[in-house]
Each structure stands twice: as structure tokens, then as C-alpha cells.
Homo-oligomer: A and B are copies of this chain.
Amino acid sequence: MSIHGKNFIGNELSAKGDKSSKIYDINSNEALEGEFFHATKQEVDEALEKANKAFALYKQTSQQQRAEFLETITEEIMNLGDELVVRTMAESNLPRPRIEGERGRTIGQIKMFANLLKEGSWVEATIDESMPNREPLPRNDLRKMLRPLGVVSVFEASNFPLAFACAGGDTASALAAGCPVIVKAHSSHSGTSELIASAIISAVKKCNMPDGTFSMVHGSGRSVGQQIVLDEAVKAVGFTGSTAGGMKLFELANQRKTPIPVFAEMGSINPCLFLPSSLNDTKKLANTYAGSITLGVGQFCTNPGLILALKDTKLENFKIDLAEAIKDMSPATMLSKGIQEAYETNKEEAIKQHGITVIAQAFEDNLPSEGKATVASVEAKTFISNPKLQEEVFGPYSLLVECKDVNELNQVIDSLDGQLTATVMGEDSEMSEYKEQIFALENKCGRILFNGVPTGVEVCQSMQHGGPFPASTDSRFTSVGTGAIKRFVRPVCYQDCPSSLLPEELRNENSLDILRIVNDEHTRRIL
């Protein structure tokens, strides 16, 4: 397949604009195949109109139909074969095993939503049967379930060109919920997005889903992105990326005639609390953390960017061991020139702050496309007084905050912004002594983990990927795992509704055999 660079306006390819962009190899600076045509205002309008029309039909599809649609998407993605892997590698500078793994993850999470739909109970169906003879007033028949919100706007992330992109978790969960999707492609991996979009459109056609169920457009956030988010047809936004980008969408969405939810997963520095007992084997701890800090050239939203510890001689040993471990980490190519430059700038800005000491650095010099691991340290007092030090440095960078006592540690935790994750390292027996600090960390994050590293986000029912602001705009939802579907639905109550008009999930016969709450009791029984 050759890369055509056109927009997917529903099932139609379209390239009416006169603006376009290309993608350049980070090292050779040669253009990759494909010229990507930015969508015109009219093309975006067409996509919005198609999506809105599609919603009226798509919301009536059964869970089984949507499950089959999702499974067909996975087949069509696999049918792209190695061309997808090669293109994604070229656009992301990520190695083959990572991209093949990410493709597996992407397929896996789409299938997870298909399975969720096949089981069907996630819709939270509740039924309160009528009580015509109740005193003083009879009770009506009331039935409630989660129904799709409407058209969803998805913005691709740069750091996961497959798993948080065109057919990533946002798209998969919105389509699963019954919402048409309009994707704004990321300019750094538009070819990958085109391949994936073509696979989704094949599935739309094969499964006879309405034209407009899926669209994908190229263009800048400021023009194309803004037009989509401000359109009244759009009912929710999914985004993974920078704080600046997420906040811009959040503000736009709140300025609309009808404000809409924005699920922006933004920055996080993922504090890791090293309790004294965790420093008994400083070599092992240093190796573990050097690995996590540099994993994927630090380009994960769960990268451990902050380490909190109490000062003592064991901590001095840890610093030496970490310096040793980091020294051996070869710099590696980053996702794009822009990200590499931002890493250098932000890291320089961070380490030139008052009171910062670089304690570990990769030995090898980095090429202009590569990110070089760096760890710095700072006194707790200085950290608390300088909010700049809490800003995420996207890349293989981490900051060790040294607390002179538990009181200072409490103040550091108290000063932290909201986070995706928080980690506690230490022996179980010691945890109870630090319960107050652990509970305080829990208030600050979406996922708290013990004796591990925050990198690695399992895709499952129990995952929570989203934390208090500014880690994400809405801590009540997750962008990873089955819970992600809950972002794109709202409860609708049907009172005394004729059975023929009720969604299948709420009918007496419970033909889907889902778990429901009937008259306050959890049951799969037929009424």
C-alpha cells in the first residue's frame, strides 16, 4: 500500500486542502513516503455531520454487533502485516520488539472491549419494578442503563503511535460505548495513522456500520482540532499528551454553549517513596530504577520522575550505585526531533535551578536525536519552595528529593500535585509505620503501587490510568482498562417504557443474560 495522505471523511477519502505536511527521518532528515493534506473547514464539517447522523443509527446497534465490529478492526489491523510495523518504526524511532509489542497491546485492548460487550453487564442495568399498590403513592416502573454520549473527538498521542492513537484505547472504548469517533491524527506519525484508519474503515464497511462511524483528519490542533472540539455535535474529547495541549482542549470545551467532558491524560512525575528498609540492597534498587527511568528513553507518562527518601548513609550508597547503573545506559533515539529538543531544554532548565545537583548521568555522549539519562538531587526544603521542580521533564530524567526527617517528608508529599501513580518501596513490616504517608500519597494519585516500578500499565479491569488534576482533567475516569468505556456514556432512565422501545438490556427477558440490579438485588434472573 502506498501512503496517500488523504483525510478519511467517514468512508470517503478527501484531500481538498492546499496545506500539507511531511514527516522527516530524525537522523537523515529525508522525507518519508507520503504528503498529508490538512483537512479544510468544509471537510471537518462533513466529518462532523456524518458522525452526528451515524450516531442516530450506531447507538441502536447491539453490543454483539459492536463486539463483532471491534474484532473485525483487529483482523484488519493484523492484515496490514509488516508494512504497519515498518512504518511505525520509521515514524517513532522505536525498535521492532517494542512496536510489535505495542501492536499486540493495541489488538489486545480492542479485543478486551469486544469481550466486555459480549458479557454485557458493564452497562449497569438497574430495574425497579412498578408497585401499583404502594402507599401513599404507587411506584412507576423505572429502568436505567448507560447509553452512549454521542460523537467523540480523539487526539492521538505521540509516544504510543498505536496503543494511544488511531485505534488506541480512546477510539476502542468510544466505539465500544456506541459513539462515533473523529480522530485528529498526530503530525509525527500520520502514515501509521493512515494505515490504521484504512483498517478501521474496512471494518466499518464489512460490518455495515453507518458511514460516519469513524473519520480521521490531518491538520493542526489550533485549526482542525479546535474546530472539532468547538462543534456542538461533539459530546466528549479524549486526549493523551502535554499539559499545555490538554489544558487548551479543556478550556475550549468549557467555553462552548454546552460544555463537554475532556478526558486529557497529561503530565505526571510519579513520585516513588523509598522507605529506609528499601535501601538495604541499594545495588538492586539502583539497577531496578535505572531500568525504569530509561525504559523507552523515559518517554512514558508513568516514568519515575521523582524519588523521595530520608537522608542517611544508605541513601548515599544508593546515589553511588544509581550513578554507576545510569552511567552504563546508552543514550537512545527519541520519538521525534521536537521531543528530543524539548527534553534537552527542559532538563537544562530543571538542573540549573537553585540547589540542584546532578548525581548520575549516562557516560556516552548522545547524538542530536538521542536522549541521555540524567538524575539530579535536591534538598526537600528547596523542592517545596520551587514549583518548577515539579514540572515533568519528558524523557529519561529523575529527581531525588532528600528529606532530613519524616516531618519534611510529610511536607513534600503535601506539596505534590496530582499524579498518575505513586510508588512505595520497603518491607511490609515497615509499611505500617508509614501509614500516614502512604494514605497521603493515595490522595495524590490514581494508582498506588508497592515494591515495583510505575512503568508498565496493565490493560485490565482493575487498572486506573488517570489521577487527580493535573495528571488528568478528570480523576474519576481511566484511559486504560475496561473502565475507559465509562467516559463515553451517561445513565438514561426509562419510566413505564413499552418493552418494544426498551434497549435489550432492560427488557424483562434478559436475553443477554447480564447481571442487573433488580429491586435492589444483583441478579441475572428473568422478570
Contacts and interface: CB of A to CB of B under 8 A. Distances in A.
Interface of A: 56, 59-60, 101, 115, 119, 121, 126-128, 136-137, 139-140, 142-144, 147, 149-150, 250, 254, 258-261, 417-418, 428, 431-432, 435-436, 438-440, 442-443, 445-452, 456, 458, 460-464, 468-470, 473-476, 478, 483, 489-498, 500-501, 515, 517, 520, 522
Given A258-B469, A458-B142, A469-B258, A493 B520 contact: no
A150 B443 contact: yes
Given A128-B458, A140-B452, A464 B447 contact: no
B492 A144 contact: no
A496 B128 contact: no
A390 to B, nearest CB: 12
Nearest to A418: B258
A421 B458 CA distance: 40
Given A258-B418, A491-B446, A501 B460 contact: no
Q: Which of A139, A449, A489, A495 has the most CB of B within 10 A?
A: A495
A387 B231 CA distance: 19
Nearest to A440: B56
Contact of A500 (B431, B470, B491, B517): B431
Nearest to A498: B428
B468 A492 contact: no
A298 to B, nearest CB: 19
Q: Which of A56, A431, A476 has the most CB of B within 10 A?
A: A476
Contacts of A115: 520
21 contacts: A121-B522, A137-B456, A139-B460, A142-B462, A144-B464, A149-B476, A150-B443, A258-B417, A259-B469, A260-B469, A431-B501, A445-B492, A447-B494, A448-B493, A449-B495, A450-B496, A450-B501, A452-B495, A462-B493, A464-B493, A476-B491
Contacts of A497: 448-450
